[in-house]
Chains A and B, each alone.
Chain A
Protein backbone atom coordinates (compact mmCIF):
# COMPACT_ATOMS: atom_id res chain seq x y z
CA UNK A 1 0.00 0.00 0.00
CA UNK A 2 2.83 2.38 0.79
CA UNK A 3 4.33 1.91 -2.65
CA UNK A 4 0.95 2.52 -4.27
CA UNK A 5 0.49 5.63 -2.15
CA UNK A 6 3.90 6.86 -3.28
CA UNK A 7 2.90 6.60 -6.94
CA UNK A 8 -0.45 8.20 -6.20
CA UNK A 9 1.29 10.98 -4.34
CA UNK A 10 3.46 11.60 -7.40
CA UNK A 11 0.33 11.86 -9.56
CA UNK A 12 -1.15 14.45 -7.24
CA UNK A 13 2.22 16.18 -7.12
CA UNK A 14 2.27 16.45 -10.91
CA UNK A 15 -1.24 17.86 -11.03
CA UNK A 16 -0.49 20.40 -8.30
CA UNK A 17 2.76 21.43 -10.00
CA UNK A 18 0.94 21.99 -13.28
CA UNK A 19 -1.61 24.04 -11.39
CA UNK A 20 1.11 26.06 -9.71
CA UNK A 21 2.93 26.88 -12.94
CA UNK A 22 -0.24 27.83 -14.79
CA UNK A 23 -1.22 30.04 -11.89
CA UNK A 24 2.11 31.77 -11.30
CA UNK A 25 2.59 32.54 -15.00
CA UNK A 26 -0.89 33.99 -15.41
CA UNK A 27 -1.17 37.59 -14.19
CA UNK A 28 -4.97 37.54 -14.49
CA UNK A 29 -5.40 34.66 -12.07
CA UNK A 30 -8.27 35.55 -9.74
CA UNK A 31 -8.09 35.44 -5.96
CA UNK A 32 -9.53 31.99 -5.16
CA UNK A 33 -11.59 33.12 -2.18
CA UNK A 34 -13.49 35.54 -4.44
CA UNK A 35 -15.07 32.63 -6.27
CA UNK A 36 -14.60 29.47 -4.19
CA UNK A 37 -16.47 29.09 -0.92
CA UNK A 38 -13.83 28.84 1.83
CA UNK A 39 -16.34 28.22 4.62
CA UNK A 40 -17.91 25.21 2.96
CA UNK A 41 -14.60 23.63 2.02
CA UNK A 42 -13.26 24.31 5.53
CA UNK A 43 -16.24 22.33 6.78
CA UNK A 44 -15.37 19.56 4.32
CA UNK A 45 -11.77 19.63 5.59
CA UNK A 46 -13.00 19.32 9.17
CA UNK A 47 -15.21 16.41 8.11
CA UNK A 48 -12.31 14.52 6.53
CA UNK A 49 -10.16 15.09 9.63
CA UNK A 50 -12.99 13.70 11.78
CA UNK A 51 -13.33 10.67 9.54
CA UNK A 52 -9.58 10.07 9.80
CA UNK A 53 -9.88 10.13 13.59
CA UNK A 54 -12.81 7.71 13.54
CA UNK A 55 -10.74 5.46 11.29
CA UNK A 56 -7.88 5.21 13.79
CA UNK A 57 -10.37 4.69 16.63
CA UNK A 58 -11.95 1.86 14.61
CA UNK A 59 -8.56 0.25 14.18
CA UNK A 60 -7.72 0.60 17.88
CA UNK A 61 -11.08 -1.01 18.73
CA UNK A 62 -10.36 -3.87 16.35
CA UNK A 63 -6.99 -4.47 17.97
CA UNK A 64 -8.74 -4.60 21.35
CA UNK A 65 -10.98 -7.37 19.92
CA UNK A 66 -14.12 -5.24 19.80
CA UNK A 67 -15.36 -5.95 16.25
CA UNK A 68 -18.77 -4.44 16.98
CA UNK A 69 -17.23 -1.08 17.91
CA UNK A 70 -14.86 -1.28 14.95
CA UNK A 71 -17.82 -1.87 12.62
CA UNK A 72 -19.62 1.19 13.97
CA UNK A 73 -16.59 3.44 13.59
CA UNK A 74 -15.87 2.11 10.10
CA UNK A 75 -19.42 2.97 9.07
CA UNK A 76 -19.01 6.41 10.69
CA UNK A 77 -15.83 6.92 8.67
CA UNK A 78 -17.56 5.93 5.44
CA UNK A 79 -20.44 8.26 6.31
CA UNK A 80 -17.98 11.13 6.74
CA UNK A 81 -16.56 10.42 3.29
CA UNK A 82 -20.05 10.21 1.79
CA UNK A 83 -21.04 13.58 3.28
CA UNK A 84 -17.79 15.04 1.94
CA UNK A 85 -18.76 13.83 -1.54
CA UNK A 86 -22.21 15.35 -1.10
CA UNK A 87 -20.68 18.70 -0.17
CA UNK A 88 -18.43 18.49 -3.21
CA UNK A 89 -21.33 17.78 -5.56
CA UNK A 90 -23.25 20.71 -4.06
CA UNK A 91 -20.19 22.94 -4.44
CA UNK A 92 -19.69 21.92 -8.09
CA UNK A 93 -23.31 22.66 -8.95
CA UNK A 94 -23.05 26.01 -7.18
CA UNK A 95 -19.87 26.90 -9.07
CA UNK A 96 -21.45 25.90 -12.39
CA UNK A 97 -24.45 28.12 -11.92
CA UNK A 98 -23.43 31.00 -9.67
CA UNK A 99 -19.76 31.55 -10.61
CA UNK A 100 -19.78 30.66 -14.30
CA UNK A 101 -17.22 27.86 -13.92
CA UNK A 102 -17.33 24.87 -16.22
CA UNK A 103 -14.79 22.08 -16.65
CA UNK A 104 -13.10 23.93 -19.50
CA UNK A 105 -14.07 27.58 -19.16
CA UNK A 106 -14.42 30.37 -16.63
CA UNK A 107 -16.64 33.39 -17.11
CA UNK A 108 -14.64 35.88 -15.01
CA UNK A 109 -11.03 35.02 -15.75
CA UNK A 110 -8.60 32.56 -17.33
CA UNK A 111 -10.18 29.18 -18.14
CA UNK A 112 -7.23 27.46 -16.43
CA UNK A 113 -8.59 28.64 -13.09
CA UNK A 114 -11.64 26.49 -13.67
CA UNK A 115 -10.01 23.48 -15.29
CA UNK A 116 -7.21 23.11 -12.73
CA UNK A 117 -9.72 23.44 -9.89
CA UNK A 118 -11.96 20.74 -11.28
CA UNK A 119 -9.21 18.32 -12.25
CA UNK A 120 -7.47 18.49 -8.87
CA UNK A 121 -10.60 18.38 -6.71
CA UNK A 122 -12.26 15.91 -9.08
CA UNK A 123 -9.30 13.53 -8.98
CA UNK A 124 -9.33 13.79 -5.19
CA UNK A 125 -13.11 13.25 -5.13
CA UNK A 126 -12.62 10.05 -7.13
CA UNK A 127 -10.22 8.92 -4.40
CA UNK A 128 -12.79 9.73 -1.72
CA UNK A 129 -15.37 7.70 -3.62
CA UNK A 130 -13.13 4.66 -3.95
CA UNK A 131 -12.14 5.11 -0.30
CA UNK A 132 -15.79 4.99 0.77
CA UNK A 133 -16.32 1.82 -1.27
CA UNK A 134 -13.16 0.33 0.24
CA UNK A 135 -14.35 1.18 3.79
CA UNK A 136 -17.78 -0.32 3.15
CA UNK A 137 -16.15 -3.53 1.95
CA UNK A 138 -14.06 -3.62 5.13
CA UNK A 139 -17.24 -2.99 7.16
CA UNK A 140 -18.93 -5.92 5.44
CA UNK A 141 -15.96 -8.15 6.20
CA UNK A 142 -16.02 -6.99 9.82
CA UNK A 143 -19.72 -7.78 10.05
CA UNK A 144 -18.94 -11.23 8.66
CA UNK A 145 -16.61 -11.82 11.62
CA UNK A 146 -13.31 -11.86 9.73
CA UNK A 147 -11.52 -9.62 12.25
CA UNK A 148 -12.87 -11.04 15.53
CA UNK A 149 -9.44 -12.32 16.55
CA UNK A 150 -7.96 -8.82 16.72
CA UNK A 151 -5.76 -9.25 13.64
CA UNK A 152 -6.79 -6.07 11.79
CA UNK A 153 -3.82 -5.60 9.48
CA UNK A 154 -6.00 -5.37 6.37
CA UNK A 155 -8.18 -2.77 8.08
CA UNK A 156 -5.03 -0.80 8.78
CA UNK A 157 -4.12 -0.97 5.09
CA UNK A 158 -7.57 0.42 4.22
CA UNK A 159 -6.94 3.08 6.85
CA UNK A 160 -3.65 4.00 5.18
CA UNK A 161 -5.50 4.77 1.97
CA UNK A 162 -8.11 6.77 3.82
CA UNK A 163 -5.55 8.84 5.74
CA UNK A 164 -3.70 9.48 2.49
CA UNK A 165 -6.90 10.87 0.98
CA UNK A 166 -7.25 13.11 4.03
CA UNK A 167 -3.61 14.19 3.80
CA UNK A 168 -3.96 15.08 0.12
CA UNK A 169 -7.07 17.10 0.86
CA UNK A 170 -5.19 19.06 3.54
CA UNK A 171 -2.67 20.04 0.86
CA UNK A 172 -5.30 20.66 -1.83
CA UNK A 173 -7.38 22.81 0.50
CA UNK A 174 -4.41 25.06 1.19
CA UNK A 175 -3.05 25.24 -2.35
CA UNK A 176 -6.35 25.64 -4.23
CA UNK A 177 -8.55 27.51 -1.76
CA UNK A 178 -6.40 29.43 0.70
CA UNK A 179 -3.33 30.70 -1.15
Chain B
Protein backbone atom coordinates (compact mmCIF):
# COMPACT_ATOMS: atom_id res chain seq x y z
CA UNK B 1 0.00 0.00 0.00
CA UNK B 2 3.00 2.29 0.26
CA UNK B 3 3.00 3.09 -3.45
CA UNK B 4 -0.57 4.38 -3.32
CA UNK B 5 0.76 7.64 -1.93
CA UNK B 6 1.50 8.76 -5.49
CA UNK B 7 -2.20 8.90 -6.26
CA UNK B 8 -3.30 11.04 -3.34
CA UNK B 9 -1.76 13.49 -0.94
CA UNK B 10 0.58 15.21 -3.37
CA UNK B 11 -1.00 17.31 -6.09
CA UNK B 12 -0.58 15.46 -9.36
CA UNK B 13 -2.05 16.32 -12.71
CA UNK B 14 -4.07 13.77 -14.61
CA UNK B 15 -1.39 13.31 -17.29
CA UNK B 16 1.11 12.11 -14.72
CA UNK B 17 -1.49 9.74 -13.25
CA UNK B 18 -2.24 8.34 -16.70
CA UNK B 19 1.46 7.84 -17.31
CA UNK B 20 1.85 5.92 -14.04
CA UNK B 21 -1.18 3.77 -14.80
CA UNK B 22 0.13 2.95 -18.26
CA UNK B 23 3.49 1.85 -16.87
CA UNK B 24 1.82 -0.39 -14.29
CA UNK B 25 -0.56 -1.98 -16.76
CA UNK B 26 2.21 -2.77 -19.24
CA UNK B 27 4.14 -4.49 -16.46
CA UNK B 28 1.06 -6.47 -15.42
CA UNK B 29 0.51 -7.62 -19.01
CA UNK B 30 4.09 -8.90 -19.11
CA UNK B 31 3.50 -10.90 -15.94
CA UNK B 32 0.26 -12.18 -17.44
CA UNK B 33 2.14 -13.58 -20.44
CA UNK B 34 4.73 -15.15 -18.20
CA UNK B 35 2.00 -16.85 -16.17
CA UNK B 36 0.28 -18.08 -19.34
CA UNK B 37 3.48 -19.48 -20.80
CA UNK B 38 4.35 -21.29 -17.59
CA UNK B 39 0.83 -22.74 -17.35
CA UNK B 40 0.94 -24.00 -20.94
CA UNK B 41 4.40 -25.46 -20.33
CA UNK B 42 3.21 -27.19 -17.15
CA UNK B 43 0.20 -28.77 -18.77
CA UNK B 44 2.20 -29.59 -21.91
CA UNK B 45 5.05 -31.39 -20.17
CA UNK B 46 2.63 -33.73 -18.37
CA UNK B 47 1.80 -35.28 -21.75
CA UNK B 48 5.45 -36.26 -22.29
CA UNK B 49 5.29 -38.99 -19.66
CA UNK B 50 6.30 -41.60 -22.25
CA UNK B 51 9.55 -39.76 -23.02
CA UNK B 52 10.60 -38.15 -19.75
CA UNK B 53 10.86 -39.76 -16.34
CA UNK B 54 8.23 -38.98 -13.72
CA UNK B 55 10.85 -37.35 -11.52
CA UNK B 56 11.90 -34.88 -14.23
CA UNK B 57 8.31 -33.98 -15.09
CA UNK B 58 7.31 -33.46 -11.47
CA UNK B 59 10.40 -31.38 -10.70
CA UNK B 60 9.79 -29.12 -13.69
CA UNK B 61 6.09 -28.76 -12.89
CA UNK B 62 6.80 -27.90 -9.24
CA UNK B 63 9.50 -25.40 -10.24
CA UNK B 64 7.15 -23.64 -12.68
CA UNK B 65 4.37 -23.62 -10.09
CA UNK B 66 6.63 -22.00 -7.53
CA UNK B 67 7.68 -19.38 -10.10
CA UNK B 68 4.05 -18.63 -10.92
CA UNK B 69 3.09 -18.37 -7.26
CA UNK B 70 6.08 -16.09 -6.77
CA UNK B 71 5.03 -13.85 -9.66
CA UNK B 72 1.50 -13.51 -8.30
CA UNK B 73 2.74 -12.79 -4.79
CA UNK B 74 5.58 -10.44 -5.71
CA UNK B 75 3.97 -8.36 -8.48
CA UNK B 76 0.18 -8.72 -8.21
CA UNK B 77 0.06 -8.66 -4.43
CA UNK B 78 2.63 -5.82 -4.52
CA UNK B 79 5.08 -7.53 -2.20
CA UNK B 80 7.81 -5.72 -4.15
CA UNK B 81 6.72 -2.45 -2.49
CA UNK B 82 6.01 -3.83 0.96
CA UNK B 83 8.04 -3.53 4.13
CA UNK B 84 10.21 -6.37 5.28
CA UNK B 85 7.85 -7.65 7.98
CA UNK B 86 5.05 -8.03 5.47
CA UNK B 87 7.34 -10.13 3.29
CA UNK B 88 8.19 -12.26 6.30
CA UNK B 89 4.50 -12.76 7.12
CA UNK B 90 3.91 -13.72 3.49
CA UNK B 91 6.54 -16.46 3.35
CA UNK B 92 5.94 -17.71 6.90
CA UNK B 93 3.19 -20.23 5.97
CA UNK B 94 5.43 -21.67 3.25
CA UNK B 95 8.27 -22.12 5.73
CA UNK B 96 6.04 -23.65 8.41
CA UNK B 97 4.37 -26.05 6.00
CA UNK B 98 7.78 -26.88 4.53
CA UNK B 99 9.23 -27.78 7.94
CA UNK B 100 6.10 -29.75 8.76
CA UNK B 101 6.46 -31.68 5.52
CA UNK B 102 10.09 -32.50 6.34
CA UNK B 103 9.15 -33.77 9.79
CA UNK B 104 6.41 -35.92 8.28
CA UNK B 105 8.77 -37.49 5.74
CA UNK B 106 9.25 -40.72 7.79
CA UNK B 107 5.47 -41.22 7.68
CA UNK B 108 5.43 -41.10 3.91
CA UNK B 109 7.82 -44.04 3.49
CA UNK B 110 5.54 -46.91 2.61
CA UNK B 111 7.85 -49.79 3.57
CA UNK B 112 8.63 -48.60 7.08
CA UNK B 113 5.70 -46.40 8.04
CA UNK B 114 6.16 -46.03 11.80
CA UNK B 115 9.47 -46.85 13.39
CA UNK B 116 10.16 -44.88 16.56
CA UNK B 117 6.77 -45.15 18.18
CA UNK B 118 6.21 -48.89 17.93
CA UNK B 119 9.76 -50.21 18.06
CA UNK B 120 10.22 -49.07 21.67
CA UNK B 121 7.71 -51.43 23.37
CA UNK B 122 8.65 -54.19 20.95
CA UNK B 123 12.20 -54.15 22.25
CA UNK B 124 11.21 -54.84 25.88
CA UNK B 125 8.74 -57.66 25.14
CA UNK B 126 11.22 -60.56 25.72
CA UNK B 127 11.96 -59.37 29.27
CA UNK B 128 8.30 -59.38 30.23
CA UNK B 129 7.56 -62.62 28.47
CA UNK B 130 9.93 -64.17 30.98
CA UNK B 131 8.53 -62.13 33.81
CA UNK B 132 4.96 -63.13 33.07
CA UNK B 133 5.51 -66.84 33.56
CA UNK B 134 7.42 -66.51 36.84
CA UNK B 135 6.14 -63.38 38.56
CA UNK B 136 2.44 -64.05 38.23
CA UNK B 137 2.46 -66.04 41.49
CA UNK B 138 5.93 -65.06 42.68
CA UNK B 139 6.56 -62.84 45.75
CA UNK B 140 7.75 -59.23 45.45
CA UNK B 141 11.44 -60.10 45.81
CA UNK B 142 11.25 -62.51 42.91
CA UNK B 143 9.69 -59.93 40.62
CA UNK B 144 12.26 -57.34 41.58
CA UNK B 145 15.07 -59.81 40.88
CA UNK B 146 13.55 -60.80 37.57
CA UNK B 147 13.42 -57.24 36.33
CA UNK B 148 16.98 -56.56 37.44
CA UNK B 149 18.14 -59.57 35.49
CA UNK B 150 16.45 -58.32 32.35
CA UNK B 151 17.84 -54.86 32.90
CA UNK B 152 21.34 -55.97 31.95
CA UNK B 153 20.22 -56.86 28.43
CA UNK B 154 17.85 -53.96 27.83
CA UNK B 155 20.20 -51.36 29.29
CA UNK B 156 17.47 -49.49 31.19
CA UNK B 157 18.46 -47.29 34.17
CA UNK B 158 18.15 -49.00 37.56
CA UNK B 159 15.70 -46.45 38.94
CA UNK B 160 13.17 -47.07 36.19
CA UNK B 161 13.15 -50.85 36.51
CA UNK B 162 10.76 -51.33 39.51
CA UNK B 163 8.29 -48.87 37.99
CA UNK B 164 8.40 -50.38 34.53
CA UNK B 165 7.60 -53.92 35.60
CA UNK B 166 4.08 -53.50 37.07
CA UNK B 167 3.02 -50.94 34.49
CA UNK B 168 3.85 -53.02 31.46
CA UNK B 169 2.86 -56.37 32.93
CA UNK B 170 -0.69 -56.21 31.50
CA UNK B 171 0.80 -55.20 28.15
CA UNK B 172 2.92 -58.33 28.22
CA UNK B 173 -0.18 -60.48 28.42
CA UNK B 174 -1.54 -59.06 25.16
CA UNK B 175 1.84 -58.87 23.45
CA UNK B 176 2.30 -60.59 20.11
CA UNK B 177 3.73 -64.07 20.38
CA UNK B 178 6.38 -63.48 17.71
CA UNK B 179 9.83 -62.19 18.63
CA UNK B 180 10.07 -60.17 15.43
CA UNK B 181 9.25 -56.50 16.25
CA UNK B 182 8.07 -55.88 12.68
CA UNK B 183 5.20 -58.30 13.22
CA UNK B 184 3.88 -56.15 16.03
CA UNK B 185 4.14 -53.14 13.72
CA UNK B 186 1.91 -54.90 11.22
CA UNK B 187 -0.54 -55.85 13.97
CA UNK B 188 -0.67 -52.25 15.14
CA UNK B 189 -1.51 -51.00 11.68
Binding site for B on A (CB under 8 A): 2-3, 5-6, 9-10, 13-14, 16-17, 20-21, 24-25, 27, 33, 38, 42, 45-46, 49-50, 52-53, 55-57, 60-66, 149-153, 156, 159-160, 163-164, 166-167, 170-171, 173-174, 178-179
Contact = CB atoms under 8 A, between A and B. Distances in A.
B23 to A, nearest CB: 9
What is the interface of chain A mostly: helix, strand, loop, or mixed? helix
Given A10-B96, A25-B113, A174-B62, A53 B21 contact: no
A153 to B, nearest CB: 5
Given A163-B77, A178-B43, A151 B8 contact: yes
30 contacts: A5-B90, A6-B89, A6-B93, A9-B97, A10-B96, A13-B94, A14-B97, A21-B104, A25-B108, A38-B43, A42-B39, A49-B36, A52-B72, A53-B29, A60-B21, A60-B25, A61-B21, A63-B6, A64-B14, A65-B7, A149-B8, A151-B8, A152-B4, A160-B77, A163-B73, A167-B72, A170-B65, A174-B65, A178-B61, A179-B61
Given A17-B97, A174-B62, A63 B20 contact: yes
Contacts, number: 134
Given A60-B24, A63-B21, A13 B77 contact: no
A121 B100 CA distance: 22
Contacts of A50: 32
Interface residues of B, number: 49
Q: Which of B4, B14, B86, B104 has the most CB of A within 10 A?
A: B4
What is the interface of chain B mostly: helix, strand, loop, or mixed? helix
Contacts of B25: 57, 60
A79 to B, nearest CB: 17
B68 interface: yes
A152 B110 CA distance: 52
A179 B90 CA distance: 25
Contact of B24 (A5, A33, A56, A179): A56
Contacts of A52: 72, 76
B93 A170 contact: no
A167 B73 contact: yes
A151 B8 CA distance: 6
Contacts of B94: 9, 13
Interface string B164-183: 00000000000000000000
A57 B110 CA distance: 48
A62 to B, nearest CB: 8
Given A16-B97, A65-B14, 4 more contacts: A2-B89, A38-B43, A49-B32, A63-B4
Contacts of A151: 4, 7-8
A156 B81 CA distance: 13
Contacts of A153: 1, 4
B90 A171 contact: no
A114 B1 CA distance: 41
Contacts of B119: none
A13 B175 CA distance: 38
